[in-house]
Amino acid sequence: NAGVTQTPKFQVLKTGQSMTLQCAQDMNHNSMYWYRQDPGMGLRLIYYSASEGTTDKGEVPNGYNVSRLNKREFSLRLESAAPSQTSVYFCASSEVQGSSPLHFGNGTRLTVT
């Protein structure tokens, strides 16, 4: 039982390059989320998807796009990476938004030079 799987684990990009972070969950959860973690800032919500077919902005959405491909998969795209997007990115899922705990993946460490 894998839970929440994120790929890749590590990535280095040059400024202006694009990439997509992949996330898949096998718990049949309805809601999925993307967070970023920066030193001294805790975890901040980038985008979330309350259910398949819907996506909404979180606290720090600028510079990112998301796709809820199906119930299992939720991807995060950086169209033109900037050094300020250097961070650790966590995908999470929950059975129901707002009333059940989040289950997190192990993160993607992204460095933008």
Partner 1 sequence: DQQVKQNSPSLSVQEGRISILNCDYTNSMFDYFLWYKKYPAEGPTFLISISSIKDKNEDGRFTVFLNKSAKHLSLHIVPSQPGDSAVYFCAAGSYGTASKLTFGTGTRLQVTL
Site for partner 1, residues 68 to 97, rule: CB under 8 A: 90, 92, 96-97
Q: CB count, 10 Å around CB of 55?
A: 17
11 is a site residue for partner 1 (CB under 8 A): no
Nearest approach, Cβ of residue 45 and partner 1 (Å): 5
Nearest approach, Cβ of residue 21 and partner 1 (Å): 13
48 is a site residue for partner 1 (CB under 8 A): yes
Burial readout 9-44 (b: 16 or more C-beta within 10 A, e: otherwise): eebebeeeeeeebbbbbeeebebbbbbbeeeeeebe
By the 10 Å C-beta count (0-12 exposed, 13-18 middle, 19+ buried), 88 is classed as middle
Residues in the interface with partner 1 (CB under 8 A) total 26
42 is a site residue for partner 1 (CB under 8 A): yes
* DSSP SS3 for 87: strand
Q: Which residues are at the interface with partner 1 (CB under 8 A)? A: 4, 33, 35, 40-45, 48, 50, 58-59, 90, 92, 96-99, 101-107
